[in-house]
Amino acid sequence: MNTCLIVIDVQESFRHRPYFTEDGTAAYLEVQNALIAGCEERGIPIVRVLHTDGPAQADNPFALESGHVVPMRGLRAFSAAASFIKRRHSALVGTGLDVWLTEQGIGRLLISGIRSEQCCETTARHASDLGWQVAYVTEATHTFDMRLHDDSILRTADIKSRTAAVLDGRFATVCTVQQALAGAA
């Protein structure tokens, strides 16, 4: 079965959000880069997806006008088989990615990127509902602590664990980089 790696929203925009912290970012990028390198070595196509939203003005880090909708510093440079700009959480809404995947005969998706519980999880669920086999590479996703309505903090590790729990066996196979690459061989 043909496999494709989707690298979702690994972009500089996040470094310009108030919740961003470098804590864990270098470790995430190391794992993300290992996944990219492993896919390159195996000839697995890699798709880049970047996110835009909000007002089209320079002070909005997710607007093209900001100059921040570019690959995140520290992300391994790669030659994308295709690149898409999305405006919704799922990389499959309004981008043409679904058409491209179908045209390429892709049956299995490796999901990676930023934010674990938002765009990565939403894309995984959507892809599963559309019939793709989904490998959700939790360690190659990244997110940030979230402040809850009661002012408590939901920690990154808990968010990632929750995301893995709700996806695994339902919408995706949750796996490590090594497992994802072994299944893609």
* Count of positions (residues) in the chain: 185
pLDDT digits (tens, 9 = 90+) for 13-23: 999 999 999 99
Supply the pLDDT for residue 184: 54
Supply 74's token pair.
């520290």
pLDDT computed for residue 183 by the predictor:
85
Residue 185's pLDDT is: 35
Please give the model's pTM, rounded to 2 decimal places.
Answer: 0.96
User: Which residues in the chain land under pLDDT 50?
Assistant: 185
User: What is the predicted pLDDT for the residue at 137?
Assistant: 98
What beta strand segments (E) does the chain contain? 2-8, 46-51, 82-86, 106-114, 133-142, 146-147, 153-154, 173-175
| Token duo for residue 160 | 């990632």
CATH code for the structural domain at 2-184: 3.40.50.850
Instruction: For residues 161 and 22, give the distance between their C-alpha atoms in angstroms, rounded to a whole number.
Output: 20
Burial annotation 26-56 (CB, 10 A radius, 16+ → b, else e)? eebbebbbbbbebbeeeebbbbbbbbbeeee
Placement of tokens 């690298």 in the chain: 7
The DSSP bridge pattern shows strands 153-154 and 173-175 to be unpaired
